[in-house]
Amino acid sequence: MKITVLGAGSWGATLAALLVENGHNVIIWEIDEKRAKDLNDRKIKPFEAGVDLPKEINITSNLDSVKDSRGILFAVPSQYMRETCKLLKDKGISLDDKLVMSATKGIENKTLLRMSEVIGDVFKGIYDNIAVISGPSHAEEVCRKVPTVITSASKNLATAEKCRKLFMNDYFRVYTQDDIVGVEIGAALKNVFAVAAGIIDGLKYGDNTKAAVVSRGLRELVKIGVVLGGKEQTFYGLSGLGDLMVTCFSKHSRNRSVGQAVGDGIPIEKAQKSLGMVAEGIKNTVSAYELGKKLNIELPIINAVYYVLFENKNPIDAVNDLMKRDAKKE
């Protein structure tokens, strides 16, 4: 299949290389013309600890490549999803006859829409046939062919199965399901708890505290996800608990790394800049906080992360306040 991957970041480039290995004709679109040319000319790895891109991949800043592609994979940062969709629409490009997939994890700040909903909001009538892929899958490991397992979800299970066939190989296993709501909520909110876990690392509180953040964070994730229409069992699977664990504990996690910097006392703006890549958990903390207010759900850990990142609350005070909350049943 001819496939265009929208986004030349670490995850987009890694998935593009995997698709090439699986025998597909792949083009990567990168909005920055200079960066696209550099990547295409030298086929260099676009991120630290990655591998060089296959010579078969063409990297371009020209969206015309989408027109004759049968498959479209969105891998842009979540807060640029709508802008990317509008660029496509302004080009007169229709997605009606294409296999539309998203590897972007996030919730749009102002609308609080999931990524598949954003795509469906711009391109009317295709939402039911969008597939999303998610799970514990750091690009740094997938590109080295470390055994990895993810899930492909769509309201139309046949679409999820088509996506699985594109990606699945000896080191990249793909399950399918139809709970696209649960999969996307888990994918977006786990990054918020990864920031929290990083803050704990920065404060040097240890494993006990981080385990509490992860387990109680999972509870908050489930509360939001179920209210929004996700299935509870989904959050104990690959896109929920699986992704939560790898993101909160891994040295590769950019969200955990940013959180650790904040716990070390580094201002959030400087922490993000030094990372050199997008940490989705920062923007998605805003979305998670607003969702809690909108749905009237008690989310103490999410709220604490929001206060630390955006209201300059001291991380130590935030932890102390969590510990002093009224006693209750688990």
Burial 93-110 (b: 16+ CB within 10 A, else e): bebeebbbbbbbbbbbee
- The label of the residue with tokens 């295409």 reads 40
Residues contacting residue 227 through CB under 8 Å, at least 6 positions apart:
295, 297
Which residues, in sequence order, are CB contacts of 328 under 8 Å at separation 6+? none
Residue 263, C-beta contacts closer than 8 angstroms, at least 6 positions apart: 198, 199, 200, 201, 202, 203, 315
Q: How many CA atoms lie within 13 A of 125 on its CB side?
A: 5
Check if the beta carbon of residue 37 is closer than 8 Å to that of residue 189: no
Residue 50 token pair:
């990655």
Residue showing tokens 């008690």? 298
Phi, psi of 29 (to 5 degrees): -100, 130
Catalytic residues: 190
